[in-house]
Amino acid sequence: MANNPEDTKNNNPTNLQTKVNNKSDSEKETRLSPPKPLPSITVESEGEKFINEIDRSSQDVDLSSQIKSSADQSNDPKIGDLLNNRYRLEQELGQGGMGSVFKALDLHRQEINARNQYVAIKILLPALSDDRVLVVGFHREAEKSQKLTHPNIIKVFDASRDGNRHYMVMEYLEGKPLNNIISQHGAFPLKNAFPIISAIGRGLAHAHENNIIHSDLKPANVFILAGSNEVKILDFGIASELKITGNKDETIFNPRMLGGLTIQYASFEMLNGSTAADPRDDIYAFGLIVYELLTGKHPYNKKSASEVFLEQKRGTFIQPLPPKELTARQWQLLSQAISIEQDRRPKNLQKWLTAFEFNEKRLPRHFIFPIVTIIVVLISVSVYFLVEKNRSDISQKPKILQTKPPIANAGKDQSLFLGETIWLDGKASQSTDSGHLYYHWKLTKNPIGSQVVLLDQDTATPHFSPDTIGQYEAELTVVDSQNQTSQADTINIAVSKPLPRLVLNASKDTYYIGEYLQVNIHSSQDGYLGVVYLSSTGVKLQIFPNGYQENSHIKADQNYQIPPKEKLKMLKIQGPAGIDTIIAVFSHTQLPDLEKYIDENGNLSETLQQNDAIVEKITYRVIKNSG
């Protein structure tokens, strides 16, 4: 791209130059000294921003139309393709009904020599990219997935587009999907299966607590990481949201209407046209997975719920056999989970997990008969020895070995920010008889107005998400194998207001000299903002506030664009080539001129750091125009 002849007249040594467009005068170049500043900054909500972008790039599609069956083959993603000059596709990992998944190299992370340089990228099929409803839904569901922060759910980092390609960026995992593991190894013993069952259940319950229903849970969407054996639930990107009164997104996108289901694991309601998301749809699929783990096969031989329903009505249905190691109570719980009728399935997965919890001391049903036989023999022997004992010296009584009660250890006091989840840990508790410990936690103190509930309270590591700022107190008692109870141990949890979070990004990762810079900023809290540009040669320039955006006070959860839309050609890239930096500084108090407080490496002075200032940085590459 050739430079404008007028651009060569200015010998400003910085990479960045501002340009102001006056209605009455010809175009003039200046360093942020415009004669007519705008009265306010342009603010645009996230949803409006994306929908407007879709509107500009695609035509409206009839909401009742079918998904197009033909695609532009030239737009199919291929190995070696580069998305937004950042993600290079290196290996195709799999294909699904709505898109392909690739292993991709993040060139930004490679540039800074980050430890994890690879990501997984799901790219929407080209055949679906013209359906506006589906595309908007794809991005909105990605936003919902980003909210699901849980160790057993795959992390979704971002969703974006490159031309007509819409994609989702996720963490890259190495391991095997659960369907492959079951196919290779068959049934799992209960003690080996339960950690997987519990991990899937906890991740799914977390999603349900956040009003997200997976809608396509199956063994192929459960991933076991190599080495650590950690469990991750995949593909929340097409999840459904529980219908909540007043939810403005509720009619925008519904994957059930698009056929994004796997019939062998879909509930009867999903297969028969229900568009209302319900946790019991996921619980049905979860129950099928539990059964497969314990037996190596699908309880209904891969038949759909609709087929099983018809067999039940015809009287030809054969009840699946209970897994061998389950107690009667556990089999009752699992039978309810895989019930074809929704009303029979449990509504709360967390409660189901607590009731189903594996306990090595419990004995399965097939052990009952041998035990009864042994007891009868022991009774007979006991009668004999009782008679003999009366003939002996009854003064010699055996001594009963007594042990000290167990010791509960609730761990050290903790502090966290509102919105985070706290995981308690009682595993440091001690049993004096070297036997198994049984845990019981309870919340003994909540701030006024808090209605939080402690989850998994009968395990060593329960958790909860505080809903109010203040002091919480949890109490732990443990019971040993001799039924001795420990004294209670408590832990205090201080919950405070979260630190502000800044999201900062540039419109591009790489700029040619002569192009125009655009920066977008979002803050989670009200406060004051300052933004400084730092060239690769060390030249500093404060670009916000500026002559068009004079008010440095910003509001929470709003997007701010620098420069404003009306002056997109204000910040011009002048060169030389190199790596430029944008530094955003947020504070709850008025900020001074930041050029004086930022050094040539982009570091903030200690004076401002002591005032609780928050700093966020991004970099972008400046290159010469080859044309």
Amino acid at 73: Q
Per-residue model confidence as pLDDT tens digits over 53-97: 433 333 333 323 333 333 344 578 999 999 999 999 999 988 866
What is the pLDDT at residue 501? 83
Q: Using an 8 Å Cβ cutoff, are 440 and 476 in contact? A: yes
pLDDT at residue 253 tops 60: no
Amino acid at 316: T
Per-residue model confidence as pLDDT tens digits over 133-143: 778 877 877 88
pLDDT band, very low/low/confident/very high, at 610 (cuts 50, 70, 90): low
Query: Domain coordinates of the chain in residue numbers?
Result: 5-43+508-623, 46-59+76-171, 176-356, 414-496
555 is in an annotated binding site: no
Give the torsion sign (CA, 330, 265, 210, 462): positive
CB-neighbour burial class of residue 273 (10 A; exposed 0-12, middle 13-18, buried 19+): exposed
What is the fold of 414-496?
Immunoglobulin-like (2.60.40)
Lowest mean pLDDT among 270-274, 351-355, 376-380: 376-380
In 278-419 the beta strands, taken as DSSP E runs, fall at: 414-417
Range picked from 333-337, 420-424, 596-600 for highest mean pLDDT: 333-337
Residue 464 phi/psi, 5-degree rounding, is: -160, 160
Q: Using an 8 Å Cβ cutoff, are 474 and 410 in contact? A: yes
Q: What is the DSSP string of 80-110?
A: T-EETTTEEEEEEEEE-SSEEEEEEEEHHHH
Which of the two residues, 348 and 613, has the higher pLDDT score? 348
What is the pLDDT at residue 311? 87
Which residues have C-beta within 8 Å of that of residue 322, sequence separation ≥ 6?
331, 334, 335, 365
- Determine the Cα–Cα distance for residues 361 and 190; give it in Å rounded to an integer: 13
CATH of domain 46-59+76-171: 3.30.200.20
- Determine the Cα–Cα distance for residues 78 and 69; give it in Å rounded to an integer: 20
Buried b (16+ CB within 10 A) or exposed e, 45-54: eeeeebbeeb
Q: How large is the average pLDDT for residues 469-487? A: 88
Lowest mean pLDDT among 134-138, 206-210, 483-487, 602-606: 134-138
- Determine the Cα–Cα distance for residues 536 and 506; give it in Å rounded to an integer: 16
| Antiparallel, parallel or unpaired: β 614-623 and 510-512 | parallel
What is the pLDDT at residue 10? 40
The enclosing H or E element of 202 equals helix 190-209
Residue 198 CA: distances (Å) to CA of 151, 192, 209, 224, 465? 12, 11, 16, 13, 19
Per-residue model confidence as pLDDT tens digits over 518-545: 999 999 889 999 999 999 888 889 999 9
Domain 414-496 in the same topology as domain 5-43+508-623: yes
What is the pLDDT at residue 429? 92
Which residues have C-beta within 8 Å of that of residue 221, sequence separation ≥ 6?
177, 214, 233, 234, 235
What is the fold of 5-43+508-623?
Immunoglobulin-like (2.60.40)
pLDDT at residue 13 tops 70: no
Buried b (16+ CB within 10 A) or exposed e, 440-474: bbebeebeeebeeeebbbebbebbbbbeeebebeb
Lowest mean pLDDT among 31-40, 259-268, 315-324, 472-481: 31-40
- Determine the Cα–Cα distance for residues 155 and 340; give it in Å rounded to an integer: 32
CATH entry, 176-356, from 1.10.260.40, 1.10.3720.10, 1.10.510.10, 3.20.20.20: 1.10.510.10
pLDDT band, very low/low/confident/very high, at 291 (cuts 50, 70, 90): very high
pLDDT at residue 356 tops 80: yes
Per-residue model confidence as pLDDT tens digits over 560-593: 999 998 888 888 988 899 999 999 999 888 898 8
pLDDT band, very low/low/confident/very high, at 485 (cuts 50, 70, 90): confident
What is the pLDDT at residue 473? 95
- Determine the Cα–Cα distance for residues 510 and 103; give it in Å rounded to an integer: 22
Residue 442 in tokens: 């309870």
Which residues have C-beta within 8 Å of that of residue 192, sequence separation ≥ 6?
none
- Determine the Cα–Cα distance for residues 182 and 187; give it in Å rounded to an integer: 7
What is the pLDDT at residue 74? 55
What is the pLDDT at residue 5? 37
